[in-house]
Amino acid sequence: MSGLPGVNFPGLGTGLAILRDGKLLLYRRTRPPEADHWNIVGGKIDHLEQSAIAAVREAEEESGLKIGEISFLCVSEQIFAEEGQHWVSIMYLTTDFIGEPQVMEPEKLPEFGWFDLENLPKPLSRFVADAVEHLRLS
């Protein structure tokens, strides 16, 4: 398949919900889809890369944290008709990490914060809305 994932064909991504003391780590995105929305760390899954490995890789690249054990959380499929994008994201959860988050990619993720699940920032990514729904069920 040629073209851009998410634009010319559905993109496959992954995300990692990182919890500490009941608070969720979120970064504000600057790029589409959902530019200026708050989201969990994550990104595209590379060809021949397992989604769980991609989730850890992306989380470490974007946050500077050292990620330990993770568990499956949910799958979220989002179609952003207004942006011409379609993504399926396999999402994971962890409370096992070392370090303090940092801004590692300021051009993509310029700010972050720890947010209570009952007091999340706006605008909130649709992917995070799905993840939080599953977090509340578990």
Q: What is the distance between the alpha carbons of residues 91 and 122, in angstroms, rounded to a whole number? A: 20
Catalogue all structural domains in the chain, each as residue range(s) with its CATH number: 11-137 (3.90.79.10)
**pLDDT at res. 1:** 60
The alpha carbons of the chain give a radius of gyration, in whole angstroms, of: 14
Taking residues 82-102, what's their average pLDDT? 97
pLDDT tens digits, one per residue of 3-23: 999 999 999 999 999 999 999
Q: For 2-35, b where at least 16 C-beta lie within 10 A, e where not — what string?
A: eeebbeeeebbbbbbbbbeeeebbbbbbeeebbe
Taking residues 56-78, what's their average pLDDT? 98
Displacement of CA 91 from its chain's centroid (Å): 7
Taking residues 112-132, what's their average pLDDT? 97
Helices (H) then strands (E): counts for the chain: 2, 9
The alpha helices in the chain, defined as continuous H runs, are 51-63, 126-137
Statement: residue 137 has pLDDT above 90: no
The answer to whether 29 and 35 have CB atoms below 8 angstroms apart is yes
Statement: residue 112 has pLDDT above 80: yes
Statement: residue 96 has pLDDT above 70: yes
Q: Which amino acid belongs to residue 31?
A: R
The answer to whether 114 and 20 have CB atoms below 8 angstroms apart is yes
Q: How far apart are the first and last CA of the chain?
A: 37
Choose among 92, 61, 50, 88: nearest CA to 74.
Answer: 92
